[in-house]
Amino acid sequence: MEFWLWILVAVLLIIIVFLTIKICLMKKSAQEISEAFLDRLTEDTNTLIDISSRDRHMRELAREINIQLNKLKEERHRFQQGDRELKDAVTNISHDIRTPLTAVCGYLDLLDREEKSEDAARYLKIIRSRTEILRQLTEELFRYSVFTSSADGTPAEPVVLNRLLEESISAFYAVLRQRKITPRITLSEEKVRRTLSRSACSRLFGNLISNALKYSDGDLEITLKDTGEIIFSNHASRLDEIQVGRLFDRFYTVETASSRSNGLGLSIARALTEQMGGTISAGYEDG
């Protein structure tokens, strides 16, 4: 009896060792699949996931994941191709519109010098106003397509964000004074150094400040943290939570009683931020 008991114990130990080894191998295979999967999600590569395990089920899992990754890559390429074609079309259209629009503005200038009735002058003023809106929209559309069509963006260089932000704020001195806005500026005492595109940063800050002033109730607060995070905040009673949540959506327009956004300025800001490896978002708080 004791002999058979030892046999049973030995068999159980062998089974436990076998299962332990199998579990360890499966765990290793799962780790290999996980790491390879994450790598292929972030990189555009044709290599497939391969694992060292000979386990049939794990290899079947890797095969199924490879099939889905190939489908995802095909969809990504189709999206990128469509996005490039859209950007090229936008660039071409906006460029084609600019030339005749410039001619229209020239003819409006000539008409403005001619004698005309009060009604004609009023109609001409309306036409000029609408033409100016169209001109601004076309210019922003052209700039947007140019910025987003650039894969690498402008060359990066060492910059001090504190100084660059101060320069951008100073550029709006006349507007701030006209609006009687005294901005609250809180900059990190330490120099926040980064390797970024100086021109892209200036454009980004300018767009954000301009947008903040467009909807501000008369205040503006700008904060630069030691981490490099920059916060632009202001009271904007004319905007609601839904509008704020969509401010960075491409071509989303905001209309208020006193202004109308063309939906491109903040899209450019987001494109510039992403080109430099950053993130940007808008938030809404009551009060």
Whether residue 1 is found in the same domain as residue 127: yes
Whether residue 108 is found in the same domain as residue 54: yes
Whether residue 248 is found in the same domain as residue 132: no
Q: What is the CATH number of the domain that holds 201?
A: 3.30.565.10
Q: Is the pTM of this model over 0.75?
A: no
Whether residue 119 is found in the same domain as residue 169: no
Going by their DSSP bridges, the two strands 193-196 and 230-233 should be labelled as unpaired
Whether residue 162 is found in the same domain as residue 136: no
Whether residue 129 is found in the same domain as residue 37: yes
Whether residue 2 is found in the same domain as residue 144: yes
Instruction: Decide if 78 is inside a domain.
Output: yes
Last residue of a domain, one of 132, 149, 166: 149
Q: Indicate the DSSP class of residue 276.
A: T
Q: Which residue has the higher pLDDT, 129 or 29?
A: 129
Displacement of CA 70 from its chain's centroid (Å): 26
Whether residue 99 is found in the same domain as residue 235: no
Whether residue 110 is found in the same domain as residue 22: yes
pLDDT average, residue stretch 8-18: 82
> For residues 277 and 280, what is the distance between their CA atoms, to the nearest angstrom?
10
Instruction: Specify whether the backbone of 228 is left (phi greater than 0), alpha (psi in -120 to 50) or beta.
Output: left
Name the strand (E) or helix (H) holding 72.
helix 56-113
- Asked if 196 and 276 count as a contact pair (C-beta separation under 8 A), the reply is yes
pLDDT tens digits for 174-213? 889 888 899 999 999 999 999 998 988 998 999 899 888 8
Instruction: Decide if 238 is inside a domain.
Output: yes
What is the pLDDT, as a whole number, of residue 257?
45
> For residues 200 and 275, what is the distance between their CA atoms, to the nearest angstrom?
9
**Which structural domain, as residue segments, surrounds residue 103?**
1-149
pLDDT tens digits for 267-284? 788 888 888 889 988 888
Whether residue 3 is found in the same domain as residue 128: yes
Instruction: Decide if 100 is inside a domain.
Output: yes
Last residue of a domain, one of 100, 121, 149: 149
Q: What percent of the chain has pLDDT over 70?
A: 87
pLDDT tens digits for 138-183? 877 777 777 666 645 568 899 999 999 999 999 999 889 888 899 9
Last residue of a domain, one of 149, 176, 191: 149
Whether residue 198 is found in the same domain as residue 136: no
- Provide the mean pLDDT of the chain: 81
Smallest CA-to-CA distance from 194 within 232, 162, 171 is with: 162
Whether residue 142 is found in the same domain as residue 12: yes
- Which residue matches tokens 């327009």? 253
Give the total number of structural domains in the chain: 2
pLDDT tens digits for 250-264? 666 665 544 555 556
Instruction: Decide if 171 is inside a domain.
Output: yes
